[in-house]
Structure 1
C-alpha cells in the first residue's frame, strides 16, 4: 500500500475513535477505527512502519478527543498562545500512548499477522490503557470501554470494569481487521460472531447486582452557574454565597441538598458560621446539606479541595487525586514564578488520604471530586460501604465543548460498575441523577443556573468488579501477549497467516 495512503488512513482511523465518546455516541466508531489501524500495522516488517502510522493515528485520536484542553488554558490559564502551545504539547505526548500500544502488540507477535490482529494488538491496547490509568498520576480519559455505556456490552462492566467492554471492542476490531487483510466472505463471520458472543454475554450478565437499602431520598442539586471570572473574586464572594444560601432555603425539606465542587467561594472556616446556621435550619426541616468547599485542615496539614457535611460534628472528605497544574503545580519550588499562571488561585491544594464515606440522611455516601470519578478503582475505595455515590465537579473550564459530556459518560460507568446510584453536582452542568444501571434519571441544563430535583434509591451489595478490580483484565491482557511472544519464539503458529 502506498505510504501516502497508509498515512491518510492512519490519521482518519484516529479521528474516528473519539466519535464513540459523548456527545457523539457512535459506539461503532472505535471498532472501525481500531480495525483499520490494526490492519495497517499487521503487515509491517520494520518498527518505523509501525511508529509512523501509529503516531499519526494517535494524533488524530488525541487531537479530536481532548481538543478542549485549549479552551481551558486559553480562557482560564495563560491566554490563547499558552493554550495553543500547551494543547499542542499535550496532544503530541498523548499520541505516543496509542503508538506504543500498537508497537507492543506488533513486537509481541510480529510476522504472525493473524495472531497479531486477533490477540496481540487488542491485548496490548487494553494493557496500555490500564497502565496509563496509574502511571505518572494516571490518565484515564478516552478509554474505549466508555463508548459502550449505552450498548449491551456495558453489562460487562460490573464484572470486569471499564476494561471489559474495552477488550470486547478491541477483540471485535481485531477480527474485523483480519477480514480487512484478506476479505474472504467466511472471514467476515469472525467479527460478526465475536460481536454476537459479547452481546449475548452482556445480556446474560445484565442482572441486578445490588438491592435497595432504604426508601428513596429526595435530592436537590444547586447548580450555581458561577462564571470563573467571578468565582474567586473577593468582591463577589458574599453575593455568590448568598445565591447558594437562598436557593438552598427554597428547597428545605428535601432529603439531600447538594452544592458542586468549591461552590463555597472561600475557605470553609472563614464562613463556617453561615454554613452551620444553614445546616441547622436544614436539619430542622429534615434535610442534610452537602457542599463542595476549600477547607483548611484542623491539624494544620494544608488546604484541601473538600466536600463537607456541616453540622454539630462536621464531616469532611478531602480530595485524594489532585490535578497536576490545576490544583497543584509540580516543581513550583524549582520553577519559581514561571508557573504561577496555572494552579488554583488559593494556592496549591494538599491531597487527602481517606476514602471513608460520609454520613448523610442516614446513609453512607462515597465521594469523588471532579476527575477522581474517572478512576474506577479509586471510586471502589469507598465500597461496599457506600450506598450512594456523589461526584461534585466544576466543568466551567471546558466551556461548550465535548469535555462535560465525556466527563458525565465516565461518571455513568462508575454507577454501572458499582451498581450504585450517583448524584453528580456541577457548577455549570451537566448536573444529573444517575440510577444504579447508569441511566440518567434527571438532568439539568448546561451553563444555566438551575435546581435539579429528583430521587435516588440507596443500594447495597457487591459486584464482581468490587472484588477483582482491574486485575483480571490487566492480567489477562498481559498473559495473551506473553503467550503470543513465547509461541512466536518457538515458531508455533496457532492460525494460518494472511
Structure 2
C-alpha cells in the first residue's frame, strides 16, 4: 500500500488510473484465483475459455481501484491532508463501492489482514472498513515520509506515530467485552459435513444416496444435540419435492427432542429461493438476499443462457429474498442467518445480528475446490463474529465447518474435504457492539467528509 501511495503521489491522473488498474487487476488475479476453479473444474468451462474469462473478471474488478486512483490524483492529492487522510478515505470508499455495485463483490478488503493483530480490538467499533482505513493511512503516511520534501517529512512521521498509537490502543480494546453472556443454557450443536463433490451433488443418480447419507449422519447426532444443522442446499431438490423425507426427518429429530435446520431450495408462487429453514424444534425460513451472479442468477439471462455450460449451472435461477426477514427461532434462541456469500457483507450481517443470540451461516464451498477460497470465506465469517460480539456457527458441505467465539477465534472445527460430524457448544450473547448498532455509516460518512475537505482545503501547505 505504501508503494502504491508513493507511486500515485508523483503521477498524473491518467497515469494514476493505469497504476490503480494494474495494481487492482494484479491483486484480484492472485486473491480470487478460485474463480478459475469454479468456472473450469465445476462450471464445465474449457481451459481456453476459463482463463480469459477469469482474466476479464479480474481486469474488470481492477477498474474500481483505477477509479480510486484517478480521482485521488485529479482532485484529492493536494497538501499533506490529501496525501494521507485523503488517500485512506478514497481507498475505503472504493472498497465500499465494490461492496454494493452490481450486487457487490466484498472480497479482499485490506482490513481482513488484521483479524489476529492488535487492530482487531477496533473491529467491534469501526468494522472491517475502519481497519482498511488504518491500513491505507499507514501506507500513505510511510509514503509521505519518504517522498515529501525534507521540511515536511515531520508531518509524515507524525502520521506514522498516530497510526502506531491506534495500533497500541487496539491491545487495550481487545480486553473490552462489548457484549455479555446471556442467561440461556448453552446450546449443544451437531453439524453434518457431507463432503459430497460438486460433480455428484445435482446428479439424479446420487439423489437417494444423498438423502441416506444425511439420515445416517444425523442418527449419530440426535441423542447429544439440541440442534442439528445441515449445510446450504443439503438436499438437492426443491423442498416440496422432498416433503415426505423431511416429515420423516422431523419425526426422528422430535423423538430425540432435537431441532433441525437445513439449507434447501424453495419455491413460493413464481419465485424460487435459496433458503434455510427450521424443519423441527422451532420455526422460521430465510431466503437469501445477496445472490451470486452466474452462480445463482444469470444477468442478461435471455442472451447468455445456452452459450456455454457455465451459464446453465443447476439452480442458477434464484430470486432475491425480502430485506426485512426475521430470525430463525430454535428452542427459545434467536439465530441471525446468512447463506454462503452473504457472510461477506458487513452491514447485512450487522443488521441481522441486532437482537439475536447467535450468528449462523451455511455454505456450499465445494465450488472453491482446493483453493484459498474456503480460507478466505472462513476469515470473513470470523470477522463478522468479532464485529458483532456474537458466537458464530458455520456449516458447509466440504469445509470449513466450525464454531467461532465472539472474539473471532475458531473454537472447534473438522477437517475440510472429509465427511464427518462436528459437535460443540455455543453460548448466547446479549447487548450490541458499536459496529452492530451503527454499522459502516460512521466510517463511510467520515471518508466522504475527508475527501471533500481534502479537495477544498486551502493549499497553504502544499507538498
Same topology, TM > 0.5: yes
CA distance in 1, matches of 2:358, 2:235: 23
Please, which of 139, 153, 170 is the counterpart of residue 202 of structure 1? Answer: 170
* Match in the other structure for 1:105: 72
Higher alpha-carbon deviation: 345-354 or 66-75 = 345-354
* Match in the other structure for 2:2: 35
Please report how far the alpha carbon of residue 288 of structure 1 lies from its aligned counterpart in structure 2 after TM superposition: 1.0
* Match in the other structure for 2:438: 468
Please, which of 315, 329, 332 is the counterpart of residue 301 of structure 2? Answer: 332
Please report how far the alpha carbon of residue 260 of structure 1 lies from its aligned counterpart in structure 2 after TM superposition: 0.7
CA distance in 2, matches of 1:343, 1:415: 35
CA contact 2:383–2:408 (8 Å) conserved in 1: yes
Q: Supply the RMSD in Å over aligned alpha carbons.
A: 1.9
CA distance in 2, matches of 1:333, 1:289: 38
* Match in the other structure for 1:84: 51
5+ residue gaps, structure 2: none
5+ residue gaps, structure 1: 1-33
CA contact 1:176–1:190 (8 Å) conserved in 2: no
CA contact 2:112–2:383 (8 Å) conserved in 1: yes
2:81 is equivalent to residue 115 of structure 1: yes
Higher alpha-carbon deviation: 383-392 or 241-250 = 383-392
* Match in the other structure for 1:492: 460
SS across alignment from 1:161: helix
Higher alpha-carbon deviation: 416-425 or 325-334 = 325-334
CA gap of 1:312–1:464, structure 2 versus 1, over 3 A, is closer
Equivalent runs, 1:420-439 vs 2, <5 Å: 420-439=390-409
Deviation digits for residues 474-496 of structure 1 (CA, Å, limit 9, x no counterpart): 11111111011111xx4332xx6
Equivalent runs, 1:169-208 vs 2, <5 Å: 169-182=135-148, 189-190=157-158, 192-206=160-174, 207-208=176-177
* Match in the other structure for 2:249: 278
CA gap of 1:169–1:209, structure 2 versus 1, over 3 A, is same
Please report how far the alpha carbon of residue 256 of structure 1 lies from its aligned counterpart in structure 2 after TM superposition: 1.4
* Match in the other structure for 2:291: 322
SS across alignment from 2:10: coil
Please, which of 454, 470, 476 is the counterpart of residue 424 of structure 2? Answer: 454
* Match in the other structure for 2:258: 287
Deviation digits for residues 59-92 of structure 1 (CA, Å, limit 9, x no counterpart): 2211111111111101122232221121011011
* Match in the other structure for 1:443: 413
CA distance in 2, matches of 1:346, 1:49: 43
SS across alignment from 1:337: coil
Please report how far the alpha carbon of residue 314 of structure 1 lies from its aligned counterpart in structure 2 after TM superposition: 5.3
Please, which of 328, 345, 348 is the counterpart of residue 378 of structure 1? Answer: 348
CA distance in 2, matches of 1:395, 1:313: 27
CA contact 2:266–2:274 (8 Å) conserved in 1: yes
Deviation digits for residues 10-44 of structure 1 (CA, Å, limit 9, x no counterpart): xxxxxxxxxxxxxxxxxxxxxxxx11110011022
Higher alpha-carbon deviation: 433-442 or 376-385 = 376-385
**Higher relative contact order, structure no. (Cα contacts within 8 Å, ≥ 6 residues apart):** 2
CA contact 1:215–1:457 (8 Å) conserved in 2: yes
* Match in the other structure for 1:16: none
Deviation digits for residues 353-391 of structure 1 (CA, Å, limit 9, x no counterpart): 143100113201111001000001111232312111111
* Match in the other structure for 2:239: 268
CA contact 2:189–2:424 (8 Å) conserved in 1: yes
Please report how far the alpha carbon of residue 323 of structure 1 lies from its aligned counterpart in structure 2 after TM superposition: 0.8
Deviation digits for residues 277-296 of structure 1 (CA, Å, limit 9, x no counterpart): 22232223232111111112
2:189 is equivalent to residue 223 of structure 1: no
CA distance in 2, matches of 1:73, 1:63: 14
* Match in the other structure for 2:273: 304
Please, which of 362, 383, 388 is the counterpart of residue 392 of structure 1? Answer: 362
CA gap of 1:193–1:313, structure 2 versus 1, over 3 A, is closer
Higher alpha-carbon deviation: 463-472 or 365-374 = 463-472
CA distance in 2, matches of 1:183, 1:152: 32
2:239 is equivalent to residue 258 of structure 1: no
CA contact 1:120–1:484 (8 Å) conserved in 2: yes
CA gap of 1:312–1:165, structure 2 versus 1, over 3 A, is closer
CA contact 1:68–1:398 (8 Å) conserved in 2: yes
CA distance in 2, matches of 1:268, 1:81: 38
CA contact 2:253–2:280 (8 Å) conserved in 1: no
CA gap of 1:311–1:95, structure 2 versus 1, over 3 A, is same
CA distance in 2, matches of 1:313, 1:154: 35
CA distance in 1, matches of 2:297, 2:154: 55
CA contact 1:156–1:202 (8 Å) conserved in 2: yes
* Match in the other structure for 2:110: 144
SS across alignment from 1:341: helix
